[in-house]
Every structure is written in C-alpha cells, then in structure tokens.
Structure 1
C-alpha cells in the first residue's frame, strides 16, 4: 500500500505540472468579428400582378406587373440552416395599400389620365372612368374592373466574396405586431453548403448599466468590393431595451449625438442591424428608429420571436472553427491562426472576414509580432518558465519509484506469521555479556515443533537449547531468556 501511494503521488504531481497551460488564450473583448460574417443585406419588394378589365370602349384585358419596394435593411443569420432575423418594417407592408397604388398606376397608363401614383383612392371628372376606377380598387367584388394579386419577394445578399449579385430568396416565417419588432425569415431553397452558414451568437441579456459600450454593424448597400460592413460605436442609454419603444443611445462623454448619428445610418440601410456587446462580442439587440431618434430593441425580443416561429438559434461547425482561429489571431498567435482561417474557408469559401484575417495572419506569421515565434525563441521575461516544474516533477517521480522499489525488496518474501508477535523483552535472568542468542521462529500452525533459522554467526561448542521454547542458551545462562525455564532442566 505504501509503495502504491508513493507511486501514485509521484505520477499525480508530474501530470499536474505538465498540465500547466503555456499561455492563457482568453477571448478578446470589444470585437465584432464574431458577428460580421453572419450580417446580411435584406431587400423586400411587393410584386403585383394586375389585370384591368376595360369595358369603356371595347372589352379588353390589360395586364401589368409592378414591383414596389417595401424596405431595405440589415439582418443576421442565427442558425446554420439560414434562419435570419431582421425588422418587420423591412419585409412587410400593407397589401391593400400596394393594391391601390397598382390600380392608380395601371388606370393612369391605360386611360391616359392624371392620377397620383400613391396609395390613396382618387376620383376622376369623367363619371364613367370614375366609376370604373372605384371598381378597380380593392376589395375584390363581382363588379370589379381589376384583378389584383400581391406577393412579397424577399432577397438576401450574404456577406461573401466574390459578391453574390443575385442573392437568394427567402420567405417570411414570422412577423411582429409592429414595424419595429423582429421578423424571422427562412431561405426558400438551400442557399448554403453542407455545413450551413456562419451565425451570430446571441447574448443572454442586455447590459444593465447606463453607458455600456456597443457596436452597430450593417450594410449601406448590397455587399460587394466597394460596399463592406459598416461598424459604428454606440453606448446604451437608460432603460431596459424591451418592447417596441426600445432603449435609447447616449454617449456618456457627450462628444457625439448618437441617436442622430445612428438614425442617419438606419435610414441608409442599417435598420435592423445587430447591436453587439463589448463584453463578449454577442448580439444584444437590433437597431430601430431613424432620423434623429435611433434606438435598440433587446435580445429578449429576438429570442421570443424565434421561439414563436419554432426556430432555435444555434451555432455550427463554421462558427467553432472561426472562433478558435479568431482567438489565436487576436492573441497574436498568427502561425496558429493561419491554418484555422484556411479551415474556415474550406467550410465556407466566401467568408469575407476569414479571408481578410488570413491575409494578415500569413503576412505576420513568423515575424516579430508573432507571439508563437517569440515563445519558441525564449520565454517571456515576465512569465514563469516551465522547465523548473518539469525538473521537479521528474525528481519526485524518480524518488517515488526508488522508494517503491526498496519497499518491494524489503517485503519480497511477503508478510510472515511472527511479524505480529510482541518485541523481545529480556527477562531478569538475562546476562548482558553472554553470546548472541539464535532467533528461533515458532510455527503458529504447529507450536509443538519448533522451527529454527540459523543466523550466520560464529558457532560455540556444546550449544544448548531450551527444552520449553527452543531458544538457544548461552554458556552463562541460568534461565532461558525468552520463557524463563531454568537452564538445568534443558
């Protein structure tokens, strides 16, 4: 047991010391790279097919099709299957208003009359044309002069290189109750590879503290060589960020009017853009509003809408590979980061962020900025060198092994029956000056038959033994030193 304990202790110490990490790779804070690969451009139009039944001069069917823009904004991919979250105002509009606009447009074109091209119902001076115009407006009736079909076409332009000029189609799965509430989209066809698309991680909650730093990332146009992701710094104001009213932005140092700054970006295409927390780079909300009053709805609004749509946000294989490479990159281990980014591009060849960072990592690997090269050359002066711990562990291991070997040698014969007998205590008649007594071991199984084991000592002539216990008697012994039997009777 002692041998096993010593050996185990040595191994445990060695393993513990060798398991000390070479360097702590903590994920850097305040970055947007975790999110920007999953940022997409969202464009939606109302497609109208309208047939005007002309009964004025002769029976004619006038067929027209129109596309009326609904919105342009930004969204984020939240799972590898391509589920996207944006704002309802970007992808949904009043279909009746669109139908009225189409009726005004086709009537003005065919009958050559002046009618404003808007969503209002108008009147004409000609009573016959006026009656036909009013019968063209929805809702559809048996006397209707127009047959109108309105559909919504949603196109997603991912953040890829080379740029996808056509994008891919998506459908509205779930919309919110108001224009500034989240909407969930899904691709109508598989627009991604076998491992899916990059996703944006969602935070657990909105930071509570006023003035918490964030970043807003989105597109001011369709992604391409001349249109890259726009990132703007922002700070959260007072409030919780829940509900359609959202949470305001406010610069704690009052150097910038952030509601106005971000409102201008929202009007130019960044409406629905993710608001990214500075702590861990996760999405804490979406940009809403516009003009001079930009705000943010919180992440709980996003997760609630996803839950109602039956879609679970999750990360994929691309995200795991990218985050590992990104950690090494931001801690300046460029040699280790380069193959990580190459792996990401194998999984998702169009990843713009991974491609950009790979170029930088390849340019800096093995150079003076590469932390891996510095560590290979010499340990950092401020760090604790690892070799003393390894040497100490080796010494402890060798000592434990030596001790175990000695214990084994000592007990190689196993435990003997008389190991548990009490120690020898000299009796009163013991002569200190007599010759050494030979130790005779008594068998516990057969006590009547004494067993002797000779010790390599000089033998005396006329050796006598005790007839009671079998112990050797010295020349001057009057009594047996072990059992006390008189020597004369032996």
Structure 2
C-alpha cells in the first residue's frame, strides 16, 4: 500500500495534513532535504491586450485586457542565480491565447453565448459570425480585432512567509515535445544577493528496477497551509530518453503509474524526482493522468546546455549541507548555530527553520549525541586540579632545564676567570735581574760592539727557580724583559768566563786561536 507523506518523514520540511496506508518499507529519513528547499511553483499566463472594432452600427473601439492561463506546475532551481528546470508544457501551450481573448470579448460586448476557451466557434447570426471569424488570428486587412499577446511567467519559491508576488522569469529554452525539459531564467536578480537554494543533479538514473525515489512539488502557490507535497514511488525498467522511465511498485501493492499521474493533475508536472541513494535529482515527473513517468537527468543536462546554463551549488547550499550533517547525526547542539547561519543567509529557508525548531527543543536532551558524548565535562566528575598540577610541573621542569642550560654555558667563562685570579697571578712571577759578568777579555766597549753578556733575554711564564725569592708584583712591576748587568756572570751559561770574540765578525775564539777561524782576522788586533 502507499503512504502519502506530507512532510511526516523525519528531516523532511513541511507538515502533514493527510495520510493513507503506508508502503511496506520506509525510505531513508531526510533524504529529500537537499532538494525540497529548491522546489518552486511555476505559473505561466498570457497577458492579452485586444481591441474590438465594432462597426455593426456606429464604429466603436472596445478595448479589453485579459490574462489567459498557459500552464502551471512545479520546477526546481539548479543555480544560485535562479535558473529553473521544469516541463515545456508548464510554460508553453499549443493553444492560442488570441483565440481565447476573441471569444471572451465577443461574449462580453455582444452578449452572445460563446464558450471562453481556445476553440474557434461559429454564431447563428451571419453578420456577427463574419465579424467573429475576422477577429480570430491571424491578422488580416479586414480584421475586426487588434491583439497583442505577452507571455508572463512567475516563479514562487519555497519560502516562509510565502511570496505572493513571485519572481518574473523568461524562457531560455523549451523542447519540441510538451514533456521535454524547459529552462527558465529570472528577470533581474532573484536571489536578493544571497543566492537561492539549489538542488544537486545526479550523475545518472538508477539502473536497477525497483529503485526507490521521492517526488516533491506543489499543488498550488506556496502558503502556510499549503506546504510542498512529498510522495514516494519506484522506477521500473526501460523507458530511456524522451519516452521517459515508467514507475512500478516492486511488491505490486500499488498502481504507481496511476498515482503519479494523479500527482501531475494536482500540479506536480515537472516536479523533481529524487533518488534515495544520495538525495539528488534523477529526473522530472512527466506524463498524464494514469501514466506518470520520469524524464531522466540526461535530458535535463542537455536542455541546460542548450540554454547555456551551468547547474551549480552556491555558498548557501554549502552552509545548509553542514547544518544538515549535524542535524541528521543528532548533534543538535552543534546544529543550532549552523542552522541559524543558514537563516541569516536566506531568512525564508523553510527546511532550515523547521530543523532549527527541532534542534532547539532537543539540544542538551537525551536525544542529543553531543550532550551524550560529553557528560564528564557537564557533570564535573573529573576535577580540574590534576590538569593545573600537571601544568605547574611542566612549567617548573621548563624553568629548571633553562637554568641548568644557562649554568652549563657559563662554566667556560668561570674557568677563564679563575685563571686571572690572584692565585693564578702568583704563578706569573718575574725573575729578578741577575748581574751581568764583567766584559770579556779582549772586548773593547769603545769599539761600540755589544758584549755577549748584554744580550736581552726574554723571561718566560714559568715557576720561579728554586732558591730565588718571589718578587712582589707591586715592587718590580709586571715586566718580562730584563737586561743583564755587567757586575755578575750570567747564570746557567758555563764556559763563558774569559771568552774571546773576533773583533771583525764577532765569531767566538778559542784560548789558543791567533786568527779567527771564520774570517781570518788576527785575534790579537
């Protein structure tokens, strides 16, 4: 049996006002939420301005204007700018609105019994009949009516409060067949700067016979007491291309072709058919009474390509998907701010408003997965002091490590400083000057030659030789260079007493040398 869902499924926007026996199985909850915000009501009329030239007696110009219905149905928004996909029959009719206007103006002015429809009628009065036939299009030189027909298309979005004026649209593409997809574009900007909710298009139609789908649409203009309608069906095998995919209940408990045909008669012609797998649009509802079928998504994409319209999702849809994820996973506390963000971007979002009300009621309760996942923080069973103590230990460890590193880096400087302390300065003693020996024999200072005993010696930094007293630094000063005095022989140079040197080259001479062994100069000179 069939269940007619009027928003009773969880996660589906709208409220239920009637129900019938349910199917043997349920469809996934919230599977239509991605599409239902983008479902719109489409109404097309022809605005006809007609002037009747009545010359039965005195010539009269009778002017009238009428709005002649063309079609109505359901569509779906596929781009944030407001591009809508529906059926050609919804916005384009084979009936001539000028014929309808001619019948109406003759009936009103001449008070004759003429059906106000799209058929060409005849009158018993020959003169009136001739004038009536001349009023019908096409226009001729003897026409009795001047007619101007302007099509007007209105789109009524799924918002709350309902938009009573609607959005003006124009035709971007229509097919040759009434059940071919048609593309409409809003006149001017329809989104108010935030972008309209859009429906995602599936990549392909489900191949498996019996695949469950949902159909969403309007039976009239959206209103508080007329929410969008949702019903479920199943795809049958076959029916590709413009022929359409038929419907069939796999359990044989319902006549789904008849049921979907009745939905079309109620105003769901062109309604989106939503796949149960990922909640994307897989086609449009087409057909007639008793033979509802689906035009596949491939035909939709072809029509959009002909109209040069790119189907895409907008930032509003991205925010709504985030909110839906939190809501349907029962994280109601997290869903509340996300849904509020959606309503800030698009205040009339009916599905977001409905889910926000539910999330606020269940936030923090037993159904809130976020509240159940964090009872410890809420109840305070885990004290805070272990975390504070751990943080204190960590800070102390960091400070101690820093001090230790600084001390280790300071050790080389300490050692260098220790070497310059008074203890180390005590080792830097200056050996007192030792008196130089008398001039060597044979050395004449008058010649200006330096005596070997007068050679300057460099005193190294070493310990004071044993037996010599330490000279305070203040008394002798820190001098390291001293000259030997001629009063005493040099210490530590044995064999230098009585040493002779060559007066020409300075070479040392032995005791028995009479001539210099190096330059040959006489030693006696």
TM-score (norm 2): 0.65
Q: Does 1:166 align with 2:182?
A: no
Match of 2:229 in 1: 230
Question: Structure 1 residues 376 and 241 mapped into 2: Cα distance closer, same or farther (>3 Å)?
Answer: farther
Match of 1:44 in 2: 44
* 1:47-446 map, 5 Å: 47-94=47-94, 97-243=96-242, 245-377=243-375
Match of 1:431 in 2: none
**SS at the partner of 1:214?**
strand
**SS at the partner of 2:104?**
helix
Structure number, greater radius of gyration? 2
Calculate the aligned-residue CA RMSD, in Å. 1.6
> What 5-or-longer segments of structure 2 have no aligned partner?
1-27, 378-525
Q: Deviations over 1:376-431 (max 9, x none)?
A: 2379xxxxxxxxxxxxxxxxxxxxxxxxxxxxxxxxxxxxxxxxxxxxxxxxxxxx
The farther-off stretch of 226-235 and 101-110 is 101-110
The CA distance in 2 between the partners of 1:36 and 1:195, in whole Å, is 18
Runs of 4+ aligned residues of structure 1 deviating over 3 Å after TM superposition are none
Native 8 Å contact 2:102 2:135 kept in 1: yes
The CA distance in 1 between the partners of 2:305 and 2:343, in whole Å, is 31
Question: Structure 1 residues 171 and 367 mapped into 2: Cα distance closer, same or farther (>3 Å)?
Answer: same
Native 8 Å contact 2:174 2:182 kept in 1: yes
> What 5-or-longer segments of structure 1 have no aligned partner?
1-27, 380-490
Q: Give 1:252 deviation, angstroms.
A: 0.3
**SS at the partner of 1:66?**
strand
Q: Give 1:108 deviation, angstroms.
A: 2.2
Q: Give 1:132 deviation, angstroms.
A: 1.5
The farther-off stretch of 127-136 and 296-305 is 127-136
The CA distance in 1 between the partners of 2:193 and 2:135, in whole Å, is 48
Q: Deviations over 1:110-140 (max 9, x none)?
A: 1222223222222233332222111111111
Q: Give 1:30 deviation, angstroms.
A: 6.5
Greater RCO structure (CA 8 Å; 6+ sep): 1
Q: Give 1:93 deviation, angstroms.
A: 1.3
Native 8 Å contact 2:30 2:328 kept in 1: no
Native 8 Å contact 2:46 2:69 kept in 1: yes
Q: Give 1:94 deviation, angstroms.
A: 2.8
Aligned residues: 350
**SS at the partner of 1:74?**
strand
The CA distance in 2 between the partners of 1:207 and 1:286, in whole Å, is 14
Native 8 Å contact 1:216 1:273 kept in 2: yes
The CA distance in 2 between the partners of 1:300 and 1:378, in whole Å, is 52
**SS at the partner of 2:153?**
strand
**SS at the partner of 2:142?**
coil
Native 8 Å contact 2:81 2:190 kept in 1: no
* 1:474-489 map, 5 Å: none
**SS at the partner of 2:287?**
strand
**SS at the partner of 2:133?**
helix
Q: Give 1:221 deviation, angstroms.
A: 1.5
Native 8 Å contact 2:74 2:218 kept in 1: yes
The CA distance in 1 between the partners of 2:36 and 2:123, in whole Å, is 52
**SS at the partner of 1:293?**
coil
The CA distance in 2 between the partners of 1:123 and 1:353, in whole Å, is 53
TM-score (norm 1): 0.69
Q: Deviations over 1:15-47 (max 9, x none)?
A: xxxxxxxxxxxxx88600000000011111111
Native 8 Å contact 1:29 1:278 kept in 2: no
Q: Give 1:240 deviation, angstroms.
A: 4.6
The CA distance in 2 between the partners of 1:157 and 1:268, in whole Å, is 17
Q: Deviations over 1:28-77 (max 9, x none)?
A: 88600000000011111111111011122011110111112112211000
The CA distance in 2 between the partners of 1:240 and 1:249, in whole Å, is 10
The CA distance in 2 between the partners of 1:75 and 1:185, in whole Å, is 9
Q: Deviations over 1:281-305 (max 9, x none)?
A: 0000000113111100000111100
